[in-house]
Chains A and B, each alone.
Chain A
Amino acid sequence: MIRALLLIPAVAAVLSLVIRNALLRRIILVLTAIGHTAMTIAAWHTDPAPLLDGWLMLDKPGLLFLTITSILFLACSLYAFGYLAGEAGKRKQDFEEGVLFTNAPGAVFCACLELFLATMTLVTVSRHIGLLWVAMEATTLASAPLIYFHRHHRSLEATWKYLLICSVGIALALLGNFFMAIAASKPGSEGTAIVVDILIRKGQTLNIPWLKAAFLFFLVGYGTKMGLAPLHTWLPDAHSESPSVISALLSGALLNCAFLGILRSYQICAAAGQSEFCRDLLVLFGLMSIGWATVFILGQTDYKRMLAYSSVEHVGILALGVGIGAGATFGAMLHAVNHSLTKAMLFMAAGNILAVYKTKTTTEVRGVLRVLPVTGVLWIAGFIAITGMPPFGMFVSEFTLLRAMIEQGRIGIAVAFLAMLALIFVGMSVAFLNMAQGKGEKELHLNGKSDSSDKSESVFAVFPPMLLGALTLMLGLYIPTAVNELLHGVASAIGGY
């Protein structure tokens, strides 16, 4: 089953490069997504057999992040089906500067998307730290051409930053791998394979200074890919310049996979009794990320960048949750699910708005509720969800976090947390609500475009975000037992409950 999970997207990627018919390529993309999701659901029922001597195995955290990735990819592939029809390989005029540019060919887009899925799947199923590293490196390389889809200089700048910063981060994570190997080995004796299970079993015998150094390098290295401040500088540019469907995948799936890398090393450190040290670091980075995001969300005039900074904030909340420990770990896992669903929905809605209004500035968009009714509702719903208001799922997860913080007596952190969330709410509400309300005709004419065409509210552009929104609404009202069990299982695997 693991083989199927990995091979389906890989084969599809090769096929996409070879097939000439654009429609066939898009159909293959959607079929791949459906196949992958089907296999993932099968994995829920029956535990897949481990491969390669336990190097590839699907345990609870892996299953959780795999499910998120799969569902997100399904939604994005449906969205991309409609998106590619109008965008792949076409010559366009840039909104902001009026330069002409081309888009990348559809074959490149589809192949890289499928490769992206394959490498992210590899991240979730690897139990060997080195293999996980290889997979993370591969995701960077698979996603770089996707960011450079609109071939103009701003997206090139974004791609360059992404490549350089993430490569440096990955290189530091490689050093963390080496440190881990040294921590696990005794001089002169047979080396230990750095598989998570083996390392957890040998927890007490690991060399502590090297283990701490390894965790630090993993945190910094994978934290760069995850978007923890101050290593997040590639995030806003990459998210604002790439197509919305790619931003959705990056925010929703890639950040989670990078978090998985950090979680694996946290598991090992916890087995060695160093969880205090790790948790303090996670809390520090978490608070820094939320704080940094708050500063940049207030007064932000580019709505896609605002969503990107919101990703930084939520990634900070993830780190904070695991750093607090106890009940907050469950909250963090639930938050991972909710954030992915909500952020993807918001990015897809943003993509629809961008297609019609042809501007990324919040002050130049008005009346989304009138011009694009369904997207407008999704936009407002997304705003309510992402700022943590009931009845959406984020409220439950953030509340769980808060409760754990107060139970542990860390009132200072709780107050700071609440204050920053409140500021973010204020900052985002100004933008979102203003964009949704109003008449909107003036803004449409301002950018010299005709009235909204039906294409921008096509089924493919609207159904996926609606699906994701419905899922996160359901998680806010009622968490299915199976999901609840899985989340608790993941939390206890990471040392919380």
Chain B
Amino acid sequence: MNNTADIVMIFLVLTNLILLGSSRLIACIRTVAVQGIVLGLLPLLLNGWSLELHLVIFSAAIITLKGIVFPWMLTGTLRDLKTQREVEPFIGYGISIVLGTVILMICMWLGSRLPLSGPATSPLIVPVVFFTIMSGLFLIVSRKKALTQVLGYLVLENGIYAFGVALVDQQPMLVELGILLDVFVAVFVMGIAIFHINREFDHIDTDKLSGLRS
């Protein structure tokens, strides 16, 4: 049992569950930031802290992006919005956590269907990645505020990034570029979109964005 990978995976699961049960937007943003920082350290952790240059640069870039830039941007948007600081879900927090646990068990089953071979892998990686992706999707679907939808998307990205870093060791460039491009551009564009939404609608409640129907 590769201890480091497992500890990181369990930490990932815990942060996802915290996100599912959090009611304050600031807490959600901070949790996603912490998740991002730990995952940013993942490439270094998995290679036994070997300080190859491109790994260090990549880790530093990810940690800066996910741990500093995005939370700063999102908190800034939150401050400008003057909205309520609560998350406002469709599905209550307690039920979200219970559903999250059920989803985790389903993902563990799914993970057992996709066997991985190789030295530095642990059996937890595939299930936890699926679980992170599903929590991200769950957050997007079950929360009303556009900001939480962006957070859900970030969690989705975190899951995919964790998978890429942990498993696709033969093509690091693909993983790195893919992830950086995806997160960087999408979140900036979404950040701009949220700003426009707030200007137009005076709120970021996507539940009320229902002018276009059927």
What residues of chain A have their CB less than 8 Å away from a CB belonging to chain B?
130, 133-134, 137, 141, 144, 148, 152-154, 156-161, 163-164, 167-168, 170-172, 174-175, 177-178, 181-182, 185, 187-188, 190-194, 209-210, 213, 236-237, 240-241, 296, 300, 305
Contact = CB atoms under 8 A, between A and B. Distances in A.
Q: Which 6 A-B pairs have the closest CB atoms?
A: A191-B170, A187-B118, A153-B200, A237-B212, A157-B209, A130-B174
A164 B190 contact: yes
Given A190-B170, A209-B114, A163 B193 contact: yes
A155 to B, nearest CB: 9
A171 B157 contact: yes
Interface string B149-193: 100010011001001100111110011011101100110011001
B212 A174 contact: no
B140 A164 contact: yes
B214 interface: yes
Contacts of B160: 171, 174-175, 178
7 contacts: A130-B174, A157-B209, A160-B146, A167-B186, A171-B160, A181-B168, A300-B214
A388 to B, nearest CB: 24
B90 interface: no
A23 B167 CA distance: 53
B212 A210 contact: no
A163 B195 CA distance: 14
Chain A interface mostly = helix
B162 to A, nearest CB: 11
Contact of A178 (B117, B149, B164, B182): B164
B189 to A, nearest CB: 6
B41 to A, nearest CB: 20
B209 to A, nearest CB: 5
Interface in B16-31: none
Interface residues of B, number: 44
A210 to B, nearest CB: 6
Given A175-B160, A175-B163, A240-B212, A213 B114 contact: yes
B212 A154 contact: yes
A153 B201 contact: yes
A76 B44 CA distance: 50
Contacts of A181: 168, 170-171, 174
A154 to B, nearest CB: 5
A137 B182 contact: yes
B153 A164 contact: yes
A158 B196 CA distance: 12
A21 to B, nearest CB: 28
A188 B117 CA distance: 9
A159 B193 contact: yes
A174 to B, nearest CB: 5
A156 B197 contact: yes
A110 B69 CA distance: 31
Contact of B185 (A141, A168, A178, A241): A141
A160 B197 contact: yes
B65 to A, nearest CB: 16
B214 A296 contact: yes
Nearest to B185: A141
Contacts of A152: 200
A152 B133 CA distance: 33
Contacts of A158: 212
Contact of B181 (A134, A175, A185, A194): A134
Given A181-B168, A187-B118, A209-B113, A241 B182 contact: no
B101 interface: no
Contact of A163 (B113, B170, B189): B189
A236 B213 CA distance: 9
Nearest to A96: B211
Given A141-B185, A167-B153, A175 B133 contact: yes
Nearest to B149: A164
